[in-house]
């Protein structure tokens, strides 16, 4: 099995996706009059983010077992990479909407901060890119070995 490192990158991408789905990504504290409160955003706060994240996790895990069909594995990894970029953009868009909603509801002071797991979608993208690069290199190696036969 030539693609051990690609399998590792795909597994790390799936684990990062599970962590994104599990942990909070953004936390805001706000005051509205005399009352204070907190607002938390995670992947389950928005159904679209959650559904796309589950699809990405399943694609990452499923591509691990496609090591015999490298062309399909490469294509699905690239699709998953584009999906992950979309997930990242959607997460930060929804966080911005959440902050604007707090401001529109009359919150006087809003102090929001990204939590450490908010950078895990970037880790997913990097892992998927490295997996796609490794699959491409293996396909190129196999083609060059076929020419020598």
CATH of the domain at 12: 1.20.140
Q: Which helix (H) or strand (E) holds 105?
A: none
pLDDT digits (tens, 9 = 90+) for 97-107: 988 888 888 87
| Number of domains observed in the structure of the chain | 1
pLDDT digits (tens, 9 = 90+) for 18-55: 999 999 999 999 888 778 888 899 999 999 999 999 99
Beta-carbon neighbour count of residue 98 at 10 Å? 17
Angle of helix 70-104 versus helix 120-148 axis, rounded to 10: 170
- Domain membership of residue 149 (yes or no) is no
- Domain membership of residue 66 (yes or no) is yes
- Domain membership of residue 37 (yes or no) is yes
Instruction: Let me know: does 73 contact 135? Beta carbons within 8 Å.
Output: yes
Beta-carbon neighbour count of residue 127 at 10 Å? 23
Question: Which pTM value belongs to this model?
Answer: 0.89
């Amino acid at each position: 099995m030539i693609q051990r490192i690609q399998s590792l990158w795909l597994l790390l991408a799936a684990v990062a996706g599970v962590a994104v789905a599990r942990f909070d990504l953004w936390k805001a504290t706000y005051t509205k009059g005399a009352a204070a409160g907190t607002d938390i955003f995670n992947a389950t706060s928005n159904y679209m983010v959650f559904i796309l994240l589950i699809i990405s996790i399943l694609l990452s895990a499923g591509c691990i077992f496609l090591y015999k069909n490298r062309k399909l594995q490469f294509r699905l990894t690239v699709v998953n990479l584009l999906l992950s970029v979309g997930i990242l953009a959607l997460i930060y868009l929804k966080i911005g909407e959440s902050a604007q909603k707090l401001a529109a509801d009359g919150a006087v002071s809003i102090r929001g901060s990204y939590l450490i797991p908010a950078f895990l979608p970037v880790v997913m993208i990097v892992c998927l890119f490295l997996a796609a690069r490794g699959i491409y290199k293996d396909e190129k190696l196999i083609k060059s070995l076929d020419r020598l036969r």
